[in-house]
Amino acid sequence: MTAASKKVLNETEQLRAEINHHNYLYHSLDQPELSDAEFDTLFRRLRQIESEYPELITEDSPTQRVGSIPLEGFTQVQHEVAMLSLDNAFSEDDLRDFDRRIKTRLEESTTIEYACEPKIDGIAVSLLYEDGRLVRGATRGDGTTGENITQNIRTVESVPLKLLGSGFPRRLEVRGEVYIAKSVFQHINKMAEEAGGKTFANPRNAAAGSVRQLDAKLTAKRRLAMFCYSVGLVEGGDLPSKHGEILARLKEWGLRTNPVIDIVNGAEDCIRYYENILMLRERLDYEIDGVVFKVNDMDLQTRLGLLSRTPRWAIAHKFPAEEGTTRLLEVEFQVGRTGAITPVARLDPVKIGGVTISNATLHNMDEIRRLDLVINDTVLVQRAGDVIPKVVAVRKEKRPKKTREIELPEYCPSCGSDVMLVEGEVIARCSGGLVCGAQRKERIRHFASRLAMDIEGLGDKLVVQLVDEGLVQNPADLYSLKVDDLVLLERLAPKSANNLLDALETSKSTTLARFIYALGIEEVGESTARSLAGYFGDLNGLKAANKDTLQKIPDVGPVVAVKIVRFFEQAVNQDLIEKLITAGVVWPEEKIETNREVLSGETYVLTGSLSQMTRNEAKEKLRSLGAKVSGSVSKKTSCVVAGDAAGLKLTKAQELGIPIMDEQALVALFLEHDL
């Protein structure tokens, strides 16, 4: 391979500059000058040069947005400046009170200037630029500690890998909201439906799931976007003295800000802005759940200061929950993976927030009794954002003479088995287990899910087809499927069938923790499955454990212990495990954690940054010693581990007199027990 000539080098630099310029026009200004075809021509030429001369590839090249090899997990990031939450206003009076408090605190009688912008319903993230180059992307997390999502953030087209122009601080942290446009969301769900895969509930869930993909190539396919709304850390440079001017400067440097941001004077102008955005809401191609108002003058922001978790100088005026009144036609009972019988309200269709609602959740029979709900009642249905609609109240004054009580069925609506209501629990359950078709489908869905056996391509609709056609009765049957069986299913071509069989074969090599989680033991989540695998080391030890032994494991209380014992006592579950192992499901031998008694019964909290290990590594080692690791400090906390730049958790621990350990003492503890 020959070295690149100066001419090729110049062309490469020119192409990158041109592509970055047109990306900025398209994503930040919404003023494209090139057609998609013309832009693609530039991009293909740059990719061609870089394939011929790999030494010319740079991290901030526009071609480097597709993601590299998948990560095993996310590392922790300590925010050098905390990412705070916002207080909420729910009425015009709340907003006027906010304005009044500011004037009182500042001892000002003049009108306050506010920066106003829509509150994007997405995922808050932090971008760190050093000398104009993107070096890190992180989630907000708990405000002080987030997750390093740099690989995924680099795939977002509206995030510049290198800032445009000049004059930016040496280190600049930019904050914003990552989201999925409504139009993109609809396309993603349509493609998933056509492929028989799982659809997302709403754009926010889709964005959250996309940002936290371990494989950035999957993130790139989701076409995320971002609006920047503030800055955090600023070192080695100055920014303007007004918030609105800072956003304008970010826009000059290639960062995308919301085009409907405005600067207004006083509370009444804020209210008018809110009303305008509320009317504009449905026409926007992104979800919003309110409006954010910030004192525009940065000096005034400093004078106003902060409360423990919120700034005094900003507030979010949330949109009202969307409600509608309709009639309850019927209540049906659905069966979940664990046999939970859940009542679902069937409603006379009503339009709420532009969406026609015909079903709503009722949770359980206790909720029905609390509402004093009967068939034919007029009910108030609430749809807050894109969550599942719920019945929140009954209009008893409109109750007709002809009504009918809602009764829990004696027999499962799916398989006819007895319905059980265990004393002390609010959830009724089907006793049918795997003989219940509904549980069978849910159990297989769970078995195939990403955190369990991770069988790519086995979506909800395909599971339903496999069970309904009698091809699969339990998870072990998946490994007996043949191409000839699969191609007979609707919309499953030979290539898709072979891809599914390849995915099934790949899934056979797993871990003990994943296998335990995949079994679907009631109340055994991913974390508990990991603890069980680490404690016993093999499946036989777990199967033979009694409830007293199980309760020695953190996160396993008496109720969970009983459910684990019952699961392994059932012949149908023993048979399933044997079939899976016979089918070739294997996992490497798990290292038995022998130090579980060291910190048994103790609760540790980590705060600040650690230099000799990641926070996740520290958590896992503490858990291996038997400790519970919590995210908050309380009177029940046994010890707080304080790293560098420890924050409010350390302060609270000192106030409560809780023992505090530094990183060196933590390392010594781990070394003492060969960790």
Among 482, 507, 532, identify where a domain stops.
507
Task: Please tell me the predicted confidence (pLDDT) of residue 594.
Answer: 63
Instruction: Please state the rounded mean pLDDT for residues 468-476.
Output: 91
Q: Is 192 in a helix, a strand, or coil? A: helix
Instruction: Please state the rounded mean pLDDT for residues 390-404.
Output: 92
User: pLDDT above 70 covers what percent of the chain?
Assistant: 91
Among 467, 485, 507, identify where a domain stops.
507
Q: Quick check: 462 and 448 in contact, CB under 8 A?
A: no
Report d(CA 538, CA 552) in Å as an integer.
17
Instruction: Please state the rounded mean pLDDT for residues 487-511.
Output: 90
In a domain, 425, yes or no: no
- Taking CA atoms, 17 is separated from 11, 37, 60, 165, 582, in Å, by 10, 18, 11, 11, 58
Strand partners, 113: 265
Task: Please tell me the predicted confidence (pLDDT) of residue 22.
Answer: 74
Q: Do 326 and 303 fall into the same domain? A: no
Instruction: Please state the rounded mean pLDDT for residues 349-377.
Output: 88
- Check whether 264 has a pLDDT greater than 90: yes
In a domain, 62, yes or no: no
Alpha helices in 122-221 (DSSP H): 150-153, 182-194, 203-211, 216-221
DSSP state of 636: T
Q: Do 131 and 266 fall into the same domain? A: yes
pLDDT tens, position by position, 647-672: 778 888 888 999 999 999 999 898 88
CATH code assigned at 192: 3.30.470.30
Q: Is 45 in a helix, a strand, or coil? A: helix
Q: Do 381 and 276 fall into the same domain? A: no
Cβ neighbour number for residue 667 with a 10 Å cutoff: 17
- Check whether 387 has a pLDDT greater than 50: yes
Number of domains in the chain: 6
Task: Please tell me the predicted confidence (pLDDT) of residue 67.
Answer: 47
Q: Do 101 and 250 fall into the same domain? A: yes
Q: Is 119 in a helix, a strand, or coil? A: strand
CA end-to-end span of the chain, whole Å? 48
pLDDT tens, position by position, 193-249: 766 666 776 788 888 888 888 777 888 888 899 999 999 999 998 899 999 999 999
The mean-pLDDT minimum among 366-375, 427-436, 510-519, 523-532 falls in 427-436
Band of residue 353 on the pLDDT scale cut at 50, 70, 90: low
Q: Do 172 and 313 fall into the same domain? A: yes
In a domain, 658, yes or no: yes
Q: Quick check: 240 and 249 in contact, CB under 8 A?
A: yes
Mean pLDDT estimate for the chain: 85
- Check whether 345 has a pLDDT greater than 70: yes
Task: Please tell me the predicted confidence (pLDDT) of residue 171.
Answer: 93
Q: Quick check: 343 and 120 in contact, CB under 8 A?
A: no
Q: Do 575 and 611 fall into the same domain? A: no
Domain of residue 542, residue span: 512-582
Instruction: Please state the rounded mean pLDDT for residues 181-187.
Output: 87
- Check whether 476 has a pLDDT greater than 50: yes
Report d(CA 78, CA 376) in Å as an integer.
54
In a domain, 423, yes or no: no
In a domain, 594, yes or no: no
Q: Quick check: 355 and 448 in contact, CB under 8 A?
A: no
Q: Do 251 and 313 fall into the same domain? A: yes
Among 273, 299, 318, identify where a domain stops.
318
In a domain, 592, yes or no: no
CATH code assigned at 547: 1.10.150.20
588 or 600, greater pLDDT: 588
Q: Do 307 and 334 fall into the same domain? A: no
**Tokens 């581990």 appear where?**
641
Q: Do 464 and 570 fall into the same domain? A: no
CATH code assigned at 633: 3.40.50.10190
User: pLDDT above 90 covers what percent of the chain?
Assistant: 38
Report d(CA 621, CA 271) in Å as an integer.
52
Report d(CA 46, CA 61) in Å as an integer.
9
pLDDT tens, position by position, 109-125: 889 999 999 999 889 99
Q: Quick check: 419 and 404 in contact, CB under 8 A?
A: no
Cβ neighbour number for residue 83 with a 10 Å cutoff: 21
Find the farthest-apart pair of alpha carbons in the chain and give their distance in angstroms, rounded: 89
φ, ψ for residue 409, nearest 5 deg: -65, 145
In a domain, 388, yes or no: yes
Task: Please tell me the predicted confidence (pLDDT) of residue 646.
Answer: 76
Instruction: Please state the rounded mean pLDDT for residues 426-453.
Output: 84
CATH code assigned at 336: 2.40.50.140
Catalytic site positions: 119
Task: Please tell me the predicted confidence (pLDDT) of residue 644.
Answer: 81
Q: Which of 272-276, 381-385, 525-529 has the highest mean pLDDT?
A: 272-276
The mean-pLDDT minimum among 248-252, 538-542, 634-638, 647-651 falls in 647-651
Q: Quick check: 176 and 228 in contact, CB under 8 A?
A: yes
- Taking CA atoms, 350 is separated from 18, 275, 375, 394, in Å, by 51, 24, 17, 16
Q: Do 306 and 197 fall into the same domain? A: yes
Residue 346 host element (H or E): strand 340-352
pLDDT tens, position by position, 4-58: 677 878 888 888 888 777 766 665 565 667 665 676 677 778 878 877 777 777 7
The mean-pLDDT minimum among 164-173, 255-264, 631-640 falls in 631-640
Q: Do 41 and 151 fall into the same domain? A: no
Indicate the residue type of 531: S
- Check whether 443 has a pLDDT greater than 50: yes
CATH code assigned at 47: 1.10.287.610
Task: Please tell me the predicted confidence (pLDDT) of residue 333.
Answer: 93
Task: Please tell me the predicted confidence (pLDDT) of residue 1.
Answer: 44
Q: Do 332 and 280 fall into the same domain? A: no
Report d(CA 653, CA 540) in Å as an integer.
42
Task: Please tell me the predicted confidence (pLDDT) of residue 386.
Answer: 47
In a domain, 393, yes or no: yes
- Check whether 566 has a pLDDT greater than 90: no
Q: Is 672 in a helix, a strand, or coil? A: helix
- Check whether 627 has a pLDDT greater than 50: yes
